[in-house]
Structure 1
Amino acid sequence: MEKALIIGASGGIGQAVSAALEARGVTVTRLSRSGDGLDVTDETSVAAALGALDGPFDLILVTTGALEIAGAAPEKALRQVSAQAMLDQFALNCVGPSLVLKHSLRLLPREGRAVFAALSARVGSIGDNNFGGWYSYRTAKAALNQMIHTGAIELGRSHRGAICVALHPGTVETEFTRKYLGRHPAVPAAQAAENLLGVIERLRPEESGGFFDWQGATVPW
């Protein structure tokens, strides 16, 4: 791997992945809202930011996302669901990565191995949902998984060797999860970055369109 683009590079996982790649000698381009004014929910912003870049990139990784937006915590019951909270979750956790994928096509090589990956979450799995709750976040991540799976089909027709996947990073010690860790075991961002890069490095073209956890195991849709 020679060149990587990290979207959301100012966040805990984004920073850690960028640092880990640079330690490997990879040239990393970092984009974020706080550092570059990139708003992934605004297509004009995405088009301008990605349009200013020259590819090809061997890896494009989207690490943006949020559990809580505008003070709306994950719902524990149906009575807590609101239209605005659901729309906000969908905009950031599904529309954002989808717009990045759309405008990343010209930045991926037409031939040879390259990876486009977006951070999803196991709670976005419909088949692995046994606890309920977290309606808006779960729904947004499930929609993202569908976008990645469908986008991978089209990408495979135009970019031979490209791999497009959704990745579950596990529970990571970041500001993103600080209020929700509870008794759940979590790993530092630096360890999560190494785990994710290990999965990315092992991915095969025939696995494009898949949903994988930090160990490389397939997550049910």
Structure 2
Amino acid sequence: MVTSLLDLLINCAGVDVHPRAWAENDSSTLMTKFRVMAVGPFLATKAFLPNLERSSSPKVINISSDFASVSENDRGRCIGYRMAKTALNQQTVTIANELKAAGSNVIMIAVDPGDVPTRLSRGNGKTDIDKSVRGIVEIIESANLVDSGSFLKWTGGKIPF
């Protein structure tokens, strides 16, 4: 089997961010969020890793959210979304560390695109999508192995886990 080269994998998945009280969630709603926002990116990364390892500068960008920051959660709300994106961040750090230990040059970073108006947010948001995309592209272009395992805002600043 011939394995193609892949320089960049962007895992971008989100579902049902809209606030609801924690008690309104059940196992089905939580599992859906985990399957989409944590398990999906995990499986995509695993499947494409051989292709990435053929690149001289491979990168995996997991689109996360500042809602995944445990230390900055001062509002509550959106528990299922927060839990799944926090799992994505843990995945980013864990895989990045395992790849570094194995001598791999694959760079993994979790990025918060900001509060952009999308279908997921029902068109609400204060972050200009063009500025967000330009910021994410800058992160992708400048990322190196030292950055691997980081959680970054689209502006380039670090977000505490």
**Structure 1 residues 159, 129: CA separation in 2 closer, same or farther (over 3 Å shift)?**
same
In the other structure, the counterpart of 2:121 is 177
Runs of 4+ residues over 3 Å off in structure 1: 157-160
Per the normalisation by structure 1, the TM-score is 0.67
Deviation per residue, 1:43-79 (Å, 9 max, x gap): xxxxxxxx9x9422111111222235xxxx432x232
What does the per-residue CA deviation read over 1:12-67, in whole Å, with 9 as the maximum and x for residues that have no partner? Answer: xxxxxxxxxxxxxxxxxxxxxxxxxxxxxxxxxxxxxxx9x942211111122223
Aligned residue runs from structure 1 range 125-136, under 5 A:
125-136=69-80
Helix, strand or coil for the counterpart of 1:165?
A: strand
Name the CA distance, whole Å, in 2 between partners of 1:127 and 1:98: 24
Aligned to 1:195: 135
Partner of 2:9: 60
1:218 corresponds to 2:158: yes
* Pairwise CA distance, 1:214: 0.0
One-letter code aligned to 2:12: T
**What is the CA RMSD across the aligned residues, in angstroms?**
2.0
* Greater RCO (Cα-Cα under 8 Å, separation 6 or more): 2
- Between the aligned residues of both structures, percent identity stands at 28
Match runs of 1:1-221 below 5 Å: 54-68=3-17, 73-75=18-20, 77-110=21-54, 112-158=56-102, 160-178=104-122, 181=124, 184-188=125-129, 190-221=130-161
Query: Given residue 19 of structure 2, which amino acid in structure 1 is its aligned partner?
Result: P
- Is there any run of 5+ residues in structure 2 with no aligned partner, and where? none
Number of residue-to-residue matches in the alignment:
161
TM-score by length of 2: 0.90
| CA gap 1:58/1:111 in 2 versus in 1, 3 angstroms | closer
Asked if 2 retains the 8 angstrom alpha-carbon contact of 1:114 and 1:161, the reply is yes
